Amino acid sequence: MISSFVILRSLKNSNSLIHFLKRRWLRLFPSMFICSMITFVFCQNFQYFPYKTLHDFLPSITFIQPEIFNLTGSNISFIDGSYWSLLVEVKFYIFISLLYFNKKLNKHIESIFAILIILNFIFNLFELRFIYIIKVFQFISLANYLHWFLLGISTFRYFYDDSQNSFFFLIFSIIITSAHTILFENNIFGVNPLVLFFIINLLIFSFIYLATFSTSSINKFSFLSYFGKNASYNFYLLHQNIGVILIIFSSFIFEDLLPFIPIFIIILILFISLLIKYLFEDPLSFFLKKLVNAK
């Protein structure tokens, strides 16, 4: 939802498909490479997570899902389980950029998303998702996540492109997201459907409300803006495996402070994320930009 909103702005500031994809790769790869290495080394010395091999770096450095590599009979997995969502994002970047830079399809992006979402809803409703060809369709098209992406796209286009049609797609995506979550994902969250409905719509309308603010208004919250820009991506890449290990070990050392340990770990990982950016990510990004632009 947030990523699709932000990506529309990035697409508008890109000259071409190649330019956009190059910028995305230069933004994602350095941190992914560095944080994957840190997570690999860190977790190899603790028994809380399955043992990883160098082959498990492949999804991180190629942004290709493990399932593709495992078609050859391999047993490759993510260095950190949370990385699965980033690869969904990467597929979305490719998909949306192909549509955006096609003059004939650009004006119909929301319609294309809506058609795919409706098809997928029908497949799930009638439990056709277990059919192999439907599984392939869902895997390639990101069908189970498109309603979230459409929320971000239609919100951006309604508020910033002044597209009146986008209001219809915004309402559509709110309804379909609520229905999809309650009908097909409630077993994942394990909460009362009415509570889930309330939570989902609270998140959606909070996002839409924040989207009405201009960038300059958001930047007034300089502290949040600073960490959002400089630490959020690294924080995401480190928070799961390393966060869990730090919480476990801190609970042994600071038994009397258990309620405060998660807060302390969040602050610690934010600080580590900033160190990684300035000490490792920025120099690697600078080197890769020179390398890519030299060609």
Work out the pLDDT band at 102, boundaries 50, 70, 90.
Answer: very high
Work out the pLDDT band at 214, boundaries 50, 70, 90.
Answer: low
Q: Is the pLDDT of residue 215 over 80?
A: no
Q: Is the pLDDT of residue 295 over 70?
A: no
Q: Is the pLDDT of residue 46 over 80?
A: no
When pLDDT is averaged across residues 154-165 and rounded to a whole number, the result is 82
Question: Is residue 42 in a domain?
Answer: no
Question: Is residue 64 in a domain?
Answer: no
Question: Is residue 162 in a domain?
Answer: yes
Highest mean pLDDT among 47-61, 84-98, 160-174: 84-98
Q: Is the pLDDT of residue 36 over 80?
A: yes
For residues 245 and 43, the answer to whether their CB atoms sit within 8 Å is: yes
Q: Which of 27-36, 113-122, 203-212 has the lowest mean pLDDT?
A: 203-212
Higher pLDDT, 24 or 293: 24
Give the per-residue pLDDT at 35.
Answer: 95
Give the per-residue pLDDT at 199.
Answer: 82
Question: Is residue 143 in a domain?
Answer: yes
Question: Is residue 138 in a domain?
Answer: yes
Question: Is residue 257 in a domain?
Answer: no
Q: Which of 10-24, 177-191, 240-254, 269-283 has the lowest mean pLDDT?
A: 177-191
Question: Is residue 161 in a domain?
Answer: yes
Q: In the chain, what percentage of residues exceed pLDDT 70?
A: 93
Domain that holds residue 141: 107-212
Question: Is residue 218 in a domain?
Answer: no
Among 76, 80, 65, 66, residue whose Cα is nearest residue 31: 80
pTM for the model: 0.87
How many domains would you assign to the chain? 1
Q: Is the pLDDT of residue 254 over 90?
A: no
**CA–CA gap between residue 59 and residue 83 (Å, rounded):** 9
Give the per-residue pLDDT at 210.
Answer: 76
Q: Is the pLDDT of residue 217 over 60?
A: no
